[in-house]
Amino acid sequence: MDLALHNTGAIVALFALYGLYSASTDGIQKAFISDLIDRNKKGTGLGIYNALLGITLLPASLIAGALYDKVNSSVPFYFGAAMASLALLMLIIFTVSHKKPSKSLSSH
C-alpha cells in the first residue's frame, strides 16, 4: 500500500496521458468510419462500429487477464503489440484494395 501512495502522481499522470490519447484518436476513428459509409447510413455504420468495439473489448480484457495470471505480466503487452501489428496489416490491405480512383486534372 505504501508503494501505491508514493506513485499516486505517476498514476494520475498516466491516466491523464491515456485521456489525451483517447481524445486524440476517438474522433479520427469515427471520421474514418464515416468516410467509408454512405451518407444515409452513417448512424447505422457508427452504431455497428461502436457495438463491435464494445463486444471485442470484453474478450480482449479476458485474454489479457488470463495471460497476465497464467504466463507472466509482460505477455499481455506482447500480445497487444502483435494484435496491433496484425490490425495495421489488415488496415493497409483494406485501404489499398478499396482505394478510390483519383480524379485527374486533365479533361481527357
Question: For 50-63, how does the pLDDT look when each residue is reduced to its tens digit (9 = 90+)?
Answer: 999 999 999 999 99
Extents of the domains making up the chain: 1-36, 39-98
pLDDT at 31 > cutoff 70 = yes
Check residue 24 and give its pLDDT: 93
Return the number of other C-beta atoms located less than 10 Å from residue 71's C-beta.
12
Mean pLDDT over the full length of the chain: 87
Which residue type occupies 64? A
* pTM beyond 0.75, yes or no: no
pLDDT digits (tens, 9 = 90+) for 58-83: 999 999 999 999 999 999 999 999 99
What average pLDDT does this structure show over 34-43?
A: 91
* pLDDT at residue 3, as a whole number: 55
61 grid coordinates:
480484457
Distance (Å, whole) CA 22 – CA 27: 9
